[in-house]
Amino acid sequence: KEAQKGPLLFDDLPPASSADSGMGGSLLFDDLPPASSGDAASCATEQVSTESHGKGEKRKSLEEEKNGREELVEKKVCKGSVGLLGLKGYVAERKGEREDMQDAHVILNDITEECQPLPAQITRVSYFAVFDGHGGVRASKFAAQNLHQNLIKKFPKGEVVSVEKTVKRCLLDTFKHTDEEFLKQASSQKPAWKDGSTATCVLAVDNTLYIANLGDSRAILCRYNEESQKYAALSLSKEHNPTQYEERMRIQKAGGNVRDGRVLGVLEVSRSIGDGQYKRCGVISVPDIKRCQLTHNDRFILIACDGLFKVFTPEEAVNFIVSCLEDKNIQTREGKLEADARYEAACNRLANKAVQRGSADNVTVMVVRIEH
């Protein structure tokens, strides 16, 4: 994987008063105005950062002591509510200039039945994911085939005290188990597999999105801003690059180093599935998990690998998709719904444009339509 320039850190983003003006910049959940401000797009959000720590560091709770992780939780109150929103995924992928296609993806518009018996509070479960492989295709394919299966097995059954906490624990356990399964299989080969993969997964539980991410693939929410009458690109995931301070410190404490922006001068991401040879150097499979409540102003979710974001900013990508969806010249084949044709065209056009702009990497573009 090639190095990527300038990932934004959370504390580098502008405050809500300057950023929440349409397409001016990516917004994080804690940058959204509170419900009391009268913004109809305000929503309940929660950011959970899960990070492994050394033995000598302070920990805030017994749970963190047990799991070796720190959870930073930021909450806001949701204003208003909407009925159950439909979700439908579309995807396009291009090999680009690479010899082979190492990306993989999963679209499961509804896995409610597979997750039964569900807690009474839950009526619908959906799952969408993009995996960007490196060093081979085996890690990305393994994750695409197994991560959601492990998630279904571990998904909360029957009554639970807190759906949010249970789902987050389920995601953490699922990523850990999937990575361990792949590493066990990879290490048993002669020679051992060295494949690795990013993972960006969007789990929809009713109208609540849980976004679990490893590496530098990204999830972006397109939300309409009623005041500016423009669409905003809201970042739903955090990129994991070894140049980031916390990531670099963890790698160095584990005995690794960061050279030329890469782990040991080779690996571009600091968290992944697979990459067994780097796991002893501080590369981990613990995802960052965010929670976002969908609103009536949300139009679609974009999930894509860095092959897209090397040549498109999130704002450019969202604007490009919106323009495609509003293109009256898109032809609808007989038997196909107009909305399906428009979203399929948007995925294909965006993937094609990324290649035209010179993205030398594999490009996977997934757009999840939010049906009101």
Residue spans per domain, the chain: 10-371
Is the distance from CB of 272 to CB of 242 less than 8 angstroms? Answer: no
Residue with tokens 């389920």: 170
Question: Tell me: the pLDDT tens digits for 47-104?
Answer: 544 444 343 443 334 444 344 333 333 333 333 457 999 999 999 999 998 999 999 9
CA-to-CA dists, residue 257 to 4, 95, 216, 249, 268, angstroms: 18, 31, 19, 9, 12
Q: Tell me the pLDDT of the chain averaged across its residues.
A: 84
pLDDT digits (tens, 9 = 90+) for 121-178: 999 999 999 999 999 999 999 999 999 999 999 999 999 999 999 999 999 999 999 9
Q: What is the pLDDT of residue 335?
A: 81
Residue 278 has pLDDT above 90, yes or no: yes
CB-based contact 43:31 (threshold 8 Å): no
Average pLDDT over residues 200-224: 99
pLDDT value of residue 336: 86
Label the pairing between strands 196-197 and 199-205.
Answer: unpaired
DSSP secondary structure letters along 341-365: HHHHHHHHHHHHHHHHTT--S-EEE
Strand partners, 290: 47, 211
**Cβ neighbours of residue 309 under 8 Å, at least 6 residues apart?**
4, 216, 218, 317
| Stated pTM of the model | 0.81
Neighbours of 100 (CB within 10 A): 9
Q: Quick one: how far is CA 293 from the chain centroid? A: 15
SS (H, E, C) 98-147: CCCCCEEEEEECCCCCCCCCCCCCCCCEEEEEEEEEECCCHHHHHHHHHH
Question: Which tokens belong to 214?
Answer: 């490893």
- Do 311 and 356 touch, CB atoms closer than 8 A? no
| Predicted pLDDT of residue 1 | 55
In this structure, of 24-38, 246-260, 333-347, the range with the lowest mean pLDDT score is: 24-38
Integer-rounded Cα radius of gyration of the chain: 20
Q: What is the pLDDT of residue 82?
A: 74
CA 28 to chain centroid, in Å, comes to: 13
Q: Quick check: 219 and 307 in contact, CB under 8 A? A: no
Q: Return the residue matching tokens 């005041």.
A: 227
156: nearest Cα among 123, 208, 115: 115
CA 289 to chain centre: 9
One DSSP character per residue, 70-103 reads -----B-PPPS---PPEEEEEEEEE-TTSSS--E
Helical (H) or strand (E) element with 18 = helix 16-19
- Residue 48 and residue 71: Cα distance in Å, rounded? 6
Q: Give the whole-number percent of the chain exceeding pLDDT 90.
A: 74
Q: What is the CATH number of domain 10-371?
A: 3.60.40.10
CB neighbour class for 10 (10 Å; exposed up to 12, middle 13-18, buried from 19) = middle
pLDDT tens digits for 346-365? 999 999 999 999 999 999 99
